[in-house]
Amino acid sequence: MKKILKILGILIGLIALIIIGGASYISIKGIPSYEAQSPEITIEADSTMIAEGKRLASLVCHNCHMNQSGLLEGKLMEDLPPEFGKAYAPNITQHDKYGIGRYTDGELAYLLRTGIKRDGGYAPPWMVKFPHLSDYDLHSVIAYLRSEQPELKPSNKQHPDSEPSFLAKFLCYVAFKPLPYPDAPIIAPDPGDKVAYGKYLATAKLDCYGCHSPSFESQNIMEPEKTPGYFSGGNAMPNLSGEIIYTRNLTMDKATGMGDWTEEQFIKAMKYGQRDNAPSLRYPMPPYAVVTDEEASAIWAYLKTIPVIENDVDALYTN
Ligand code: HEC
Ligand code: HEC
């Protein structure tokens, strides 16, 4: 009996050592690094591409990387849930040392698709990735980042190092991984194919489904439509004062989703945050004023085709 207890004691001790060892490894090593295998590409930019890149960036990059001075100098991410620690969206102006002046077109494409930076560091999930964005749209963003726009003028603004929590580091070892770089060109669907185009906008380009599905942890980035509770809302998102706002159910459920909405009401809410007989939409719902009515209409057409899910988001506020 004594012998068994002794062996058991040694075993438990060993397991504890492995756990402590693993935990200290993760905690010292920090966010993991990978080998950057950036493609060799040179983007032939024209003014149409730069304008489209700027429009897309204003919808999906500026919120994090633009600070109060209106430059892409980066800032503290005030709405990062505190359990992940503290993170700064970096300076992405064209400064050689403090910005992204040294990135090549290929390195930017590789980072935006996979999450691996030019130095091999892995950008955690709070930096968005675009595995399904069309090559044209991706190249437009890169063309914009290289353009003469005033908000990109080299700035030597520096931020303190981000301080990811142990949980954030741990998740970057076990759950959050770089995404594969596509091995074939990606072409966006024709806008004439409204439903397919709407799906492209709502997933690959404007990433509506990430916020509008129940949680980021269960998001299926490579196959968005397989995300549990796809578009049924309920994702708990802190606003800038730390108060939790739940995303809404955008499926066509009559009682808890948009089943009773008209297309006009949807477009008004999406573009300007305005709803009939209800308060305006709050942060972090971005205003999509620069999205065209055709694009908004395509997203609406797509939402009408996805599985209807009953999910009463209002009930979450009272629970
Ligand atoms: C939700 C916030 C958020 C959004 C949206 C976002 N980023 Fe970032 N970005 C970050 C954070 C945080 C990092 C730093 C990641 C890390 O720890 O390495 C980052 C890193 C980067 C880097 C690497 C900089 C370097 O020094 O290596 C580039 C380039 C970049 N982002 C460009 C973009 C572009 C272009 C977009 C839009 C298409 C975008 N980001 C959207 C938060 C964001
Ligand atoms: C950063 C997260 C985020 C993204 C990205 C996002 N939303 Fe939202 N959305 C929200 C939040 C949070 C609310 C709820 C705001 C509130 O209750 O005041 C909301 C509310 C809405 C509503 C109101 C629905 C209702 O029942 O009142 C519509 C419509 C909507 N979003 C459409 C979209 C579309 C379309 C996209 C993509 C183009 C999108 N959202 C992208 C966070 C987001």
Residue-wise pLDDT tens digits, 107-127: 999 999 999 999 999 999 889
Q: Is the CB of 105 under 6 A from ligand 2?
A: no
* pLDDT at residue 5, as a whole number: 82
Write down the pLDDT at residue 289: 95
CA of 296 to the centre of ligand 2 (A): 13
The answer, yes or no, to whether residue 278 has pLDDT greater than 80, is: yes
The enclosing H or E element of 164 equals strand 163-164
Assign 3-state DSSP to the chain and report helix, strand, coil percentages, each to 5: 40, 5, 55
Q: Mean pLDDT for the chain? A: 95
Q: How far is the CA of 250 from the centre of ligand 2 (A)?
A: 8
- CA of 70 from ligand 1 middle (Å) equals 16
Is the pLDDT score of 81 beyond 80?
yes
Domain boundaries, the chain: 47-174, 194-318
CA–CA gap between residue 318 and residue 285 (Å, rounded)? 21
* 153 pLDDT above the threshold of 80: yes
- Cα(126) to centroid(ligand 1), Å: 8
- On the question of pLDDT at 242 being above 70, the answer is yes
CA of 207 to the centre of ligand 1 (A): 15
**pLDDT > 70 fraction of the chain, expressed in percent and rounded:** 100
pLDDT mean over 40-62: 96
CB distance 101 to 94 below 8 Å: yes
Find the ligand nearest to 255 CA.
2
Mean pLDDT on 78-92: 93
Q: Is residue 9 pLDDT above 90, yes or no? A: no
Placement of tokens 């003469």 in the chain: 148
The arithmetic mean of pLDDT across residues 188-208, rounded, is 98
The token pair at 197 is 């185009």
pLDDT of residue 20: 86
Alpha-carbon torsion, ordered 23, 24, 27, 30, to 10 deg? -100
| Residues whose CB is less than 8 angstroms from the CB of residue 297 and which lie 6 or more positions away in sequence, other chains included | 194, 198, 263, 267
* Phi/psi of residue 100, nearest 5 degrees: -115, 25
Where does the chain have alpha helices with state H?
2-29, 47-60, 62-65, 105-114, 135-145, 166-174, 194-200, 208-212, 263-272, 293-303, 314-318
| Ligand closest in space to the Cα of 105 | 1
Interstrand relation of 163-164 and 85-86 (parallel, antiparallel or unpaired)? antiparallel
Ligand 2 pocket: which of 199, 211, 309, 311 to mutate (most atoms <8 Å of CB)?
211
Question: What atom in ligand 2 is closest to the CA of residue 210?
Answer: 5
Structural tokens at position 73? 């100098």
Q: Is pLDDT of 23 > 90?
A: no
What ligand has the least distance to the C-alpha of 209?
2
Predicted local distance difference test score (pLDDT) of residue 269: 97
Reported as a single tens digit per residue, the pLDDT across 246-258 is 999 999 999 999 9
pLDDT of residue 234 exceeding 70, the answer is yes
Ligand 1 centroid–CA 291 distance in Å is 22
At 279, is the secondary structure helix, strand, or coil?
coil
Q: Are 114 and 38 in contact (CB under 8 A)?
A: no
153 ligand 2 Cβ < 6 A: no
DSSP-derived 3-state class of residue 238: strand
What confidence score (pLDDT) does residue 1 get? 67
Helix (H) / strand (E) element for 244: namely: strand 244-246
**Which residue reads 């091995």 in tokens?**
183
Give the residue, out of 55, 80, 212, 306, with the most ligand 2 atoms within 8 A of its beta carbon, to mutate for a pocket test: 212
Single-letter amino acid, residue 1: M
Q: Which atom of ligand 1 lies closest to the CA of 145?
A: 35
Give the pLDDT confidence score for residue 13 in this predicted structure: 85
State both tokens at 307.
């599985």
DSSP reduced 3-state for 183 = coil
The tally of CA atoms less than 13 A away on the side-chain side of residue 4 is 1
| Residue 161: per-residue pLDDT | 95
Confidence band for 228, pLDDT divided at 50, 70 and 90: very high
CATH topology of domain 47-174: Cytochrome Bc1 Complex; Chain D, domain 2 (1.10.760)
Q: Whose CA is nearest to atom 23 of ligand 1?
A: 117
Q: Is the pLDDT of residue 265 over 80?
A: yes
